[in-house]
A and B are shown apart, each in its own frame.
Chain A
Amino acid sequence: EADIYQTPRYLVIGTGKKITLECSQTMGHDKMYWYQQDPGMELHLIHYSYGVNSTEKGDLSSESTVSRIRTEHFPLTLESARPSHTSQYLCASSAGTGEAFFGQGTRLTVV
């Protein structure tokens, strides 16, 4: 069983609110990823990190930001949520072998 956790699992929030989606892993993996996926649609990489203090944008432009102050923690923040941000957000980590472990996801709804 993979030791990667995302909170909250579900979030309904009003437009303009600031939100932080949490992602933590206990496997000591250097590489971590954030993906955005709408139901039945493609999985898009929005942010990734090679290790502490390294973050890069993925292939899908996102208004969210990330930080990597500790190896185990990779939170994603939206400063001002909008209805267009409604989606499922998936966090993953990898030791760099190509085998990544995914969290349960956060389903975000902005009303």
Chain B
Amino acid sequence: LAKTTQPISMDSYEGQEVNITCSHNNIATNDYITWYQQFPSQGPRFIIQGYKTKVTNEVASLFIPADRKSSTLSLPRVSLSDTAVYYCLVGAYNNAGNMLTFGGGTRLMVKP
């Protein structure tokens, strides 16, 4: 599995756009990039997944540069309810032997 590095914590204010960057220098050709969100006392929830360029859904956007060695999760106009831990995962999930391993994540605090 490609190792990922993300900031331990970030602070933001309501209404701002938040960008969380994840580094994955040894990403493999077959690897996808997946982001999860976790609230206290709950299991993580899938947010978005991408392979290259840009992916957008109703919750977030994911930007992946051409070399795929990093990715940026973008949360538009955050609210207090977006306070959570955000995890970046990299792997080829169609492989039977691929574990779903979470790192430390980024703890996002949204302030009023």
A contacts, CB < 8 Å to B: 31, 33, 35, 39, 42-43, 45, 48, 50, 56, 58-59, 88, 90, 92, 94, 96-105, 107
Contact = CB atoms under 8 A, between A and B. Distances in A.
Contacts of B42: 102, 104-105
9 contacts: A43-B87, A45-B100, A45-B102, A94-B93, A97-B49, A99-B34, A100-B46, A105-B43, A107-B41
- Describe B's contact surface by its main secondary structure: loop
Contacts of A50: 96-97
B89 interface: yes
A97 B103 contact: no
Nearest to A94: B100
Interface size class of B (residues with CB under 8 A): 20 to 34
A39 B3 CA distance: 24
Interface of B: 32, 34, 38, 40-46, 49, 87, 89, 91, 93-94, 96-97, 99-105
Given A98-B49, A98-B89, A92 B100 contact: yes
Contacts of B91: 98
B41 A102 contact: no
B37 to A, nearest CB: 11
B100 to A, nearest CB: 6
Given A102-B44, A102-B45, A43 B99 contact: no
